[in-house]
């Protein structure tokens, strides 16, 4: 059986990307490491595949790979704000004379992923990883080109990550509500879980505890993350609910939209009866009635930092991996209001 780049990397104690640089005669790897890799490759009988492009050609290409594992509308948010993220990638790439190619894969097919990434037609790749689980991410150790994974994070994996800081962003939203006098704050989460939704729920509970605010089970609602089904779910839950919290934190904007409409259907006024906060700061937030207060995470900043990290990895494939966390801010609009804080 022919040796693989991963096997050579394990024996040499370096990353597959560094092995790929050596075998493709690219700069960025020290001579001692280069000699070691070539010796191991020769001993294992590794056969380098012929390049599909002329030897003198320079790729100067970065692939943005979006792996959509689910067909659910939770990915509507990606389709809406992904343009900002791509804009950030392209800004940094253009400054270094790289072009960005976008590829979408439906479902996680390892063979298709390898075909998309283990090619000499690109210099590196940025992976949109929000839908990927641990096994999926561990698979990227088999990839030979430099990569950066965005919108997820695993501390134990020797990969570069750039992720939104869900924890600090949720805390900022709840501290605002607390400062505005709200002492009973509820949670509206998704019936379909994602890693980001779980992190936001966990951050909600931690921050409420830190603020000394109890969270009653009756103040936590779980609904479908699409507008129509979410509205139906929230309507049913409201029919059996008693008095409501003065504010609700929703784990994303689509859920907030559904929640607002269900509350209106039930005769509630936003924000007079209930203040609502969402997460994602989608463009449509400004056109809601009332305009939605929402947590903004700079997708452009995430894209720019991911590309800069990837270019650093291309220049030095042996450097230690980095995990970057980018925080957010609450954009306050008409769906929230201050109330009189209760006397202690």
Percent of the chain with pLDDT over 70: 88
* Mean pLDDT to the nearest integer, 155-176: 94
**Per-residue pLDDT at 79:** 62
Structure tokens at 20: 């790929």
Per the domain annotation, does 246 fall within a domain?
Answer: yes
Asked if 110 and 179 sit in the same domain, the reply is: no
Confidence (pTM): 0.78
Percent of the chain with pLDDT over 90: 54
Q: Is the pLDDT of residue 66 over 60?
A: yes
Asked if 223 and 158 sit in the same domain, the reply is: no
Per the domain annotation, does 248 fall within a domain?
Answer: yes
Asked if 82 and 148 sit in the same domain, the reply is: yes
Asked if 178 contacts 211 with a C-beta cutoff of 8 angstroms, the reply is: yes
Per the domain annotation, does 56 fall within a domain?
Answer: no
Q: Give how many domains the chain has, as a whole number.
A: 3
* Mean pLDDT to the nearest integer, 76-83: 62
Q: Is the pLDDT of residue 185 over 80?
A: yes
Per the domain annotation, does 76 fall within a domain?
Answer: yes
Tell me the pLDDT tens digit for each residue of 144-165: 789 999 988 888 888 999 999 9
Asked if 272 and 303 sit in the same domain, the reply is: no
Asked if 161 and 172 sit in the same domain, the reply is: no
Asked if 67 and 96 sit in the same domain, the reply is: yes
Asked if 307 and 158 sit in the same domain, the reply is: yes
Residue from 211, 168, 153, 188 nearest 274 by CA: 188
Asked if 117 and 158 sit in the same domain, the reply is: yes
Asked if 161 and 303 sit in the same domain, the reply is: yes
- Spell out the residues 6+ positions from residue 45 whose beta carbon is closer than 8 angstroms to its own: 2, 3
Asked if 154 and 185 sit in the same domain, the reply is: no
- Mean pLDDT in the chain? 86
Residue from 116, 114, 112, 149 nearest 133 by CA: 149
Q: Which residues pair with 127 in a beta bridge?
A: 65, 149
Per the domain annotation, does 49 fall within a domain?
Answer: no
CATH code of the domain containing 304: 3.40.50.2300
Instruction: Decide which of 173 and 241 is more confident.
Output: 173
Per the domain annotation, does 53 fall within a domain?
Answer: no
Range of the domain at 194: 166-296
Per the domain annotation, does 271 fall within a domain?
Answer: yes
Q: Is the pLDDT of residue 189 over 50?
A: yes
**Per-residue pLDDT at 311:** 94
* Mean pLDDT to the nearest integer, 121-139: 87
Asked if 30 and 146 sit in the same domain, the reply is: no
For the ranges 13-17, 91-95, 113-117, the maximum mean pLDDT occurs at 91-95
* Weakest mean pLDDT among 75-79, 167-171, 187-191, 273-277: 75-79
Per the domain annotation, does 101 fall within a domain?
Answer: yes
**DSSP result, 269-332:** -TTTT-EEEEES--GGGGGSSSPPEEEEE-HHHHHHHHHHHHHHHHH-TTSPP-EEEE-EEEE-
Asked if 209 and 117 sit in the same domain, the reply is: no
């Amino acid at each position: 059986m022919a040796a693989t780049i991963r096997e050579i990397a394990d024996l040499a104690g370096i990353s597959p990307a560094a092995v790929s640089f050596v075998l493709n005669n690219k700069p960025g790897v020290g001579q001692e490491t280069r000699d070691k890799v070539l010796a191991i490759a020769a001993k294992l009988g590794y056969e380098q595949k012929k390049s599909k492009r002329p030897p003198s050609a320079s790729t100067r290409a970065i692939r943005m790979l979006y792996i959509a594992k689910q067909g659910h509308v939770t990915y509507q948010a990606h389709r809406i704000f992904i343009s900002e993220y791509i804009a950030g990638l392209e800004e940094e790439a253009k400054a270094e004379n790289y072009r960005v190619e976008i590829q979408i894969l439906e479902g996680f097919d390892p063979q298709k992923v390898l075909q998309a990434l283990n090619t000499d037609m690109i210099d590196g790749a940025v992976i949109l990883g929000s839908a990927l689980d641990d096994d999926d991410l561990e698979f990227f150790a088999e990839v030979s080109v430099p990569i950066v994974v965005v919108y997820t994070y695993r501390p134990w994996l020797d990969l570069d990550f750039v992720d939104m800081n869900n924890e600090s962003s949720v805390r900022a939203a709840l501290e605002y509500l607390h400062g505005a006098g709200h002492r009973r704050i509820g949670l509206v989460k998704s019936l379909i879980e994602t890693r980001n939704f779980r992190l936001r729920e966990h951050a909600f509970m931690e921050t409420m505890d830190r603020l000394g605010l109890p969270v009653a089970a009756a103040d936590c609602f779980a609904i479908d993350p699409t507008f129509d089904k979410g509205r139906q779910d929230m309507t049913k839950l409201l029919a059996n609910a008693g008095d409501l919290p003065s504010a609700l934190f929703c784990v994303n904007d689509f859920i907030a939209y559904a929640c607002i409409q269900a509350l209106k259907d039930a005769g509630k006024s936003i924000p007079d009866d209930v203040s609502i906060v969402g997460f994602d700061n989608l463009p449509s937030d400004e056109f809601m009635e009332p305009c939605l207060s929402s947590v903004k995470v700079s997708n452009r900043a995430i894209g720019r930092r991911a590309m800069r990290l990837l270019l650093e990895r291309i220049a030095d494939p042996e450097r230690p991996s980095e995990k970057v966390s980018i925080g957010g801010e609450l954009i306050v609009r008409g769906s929230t209001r201050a109330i009189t804080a209760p006397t202690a």
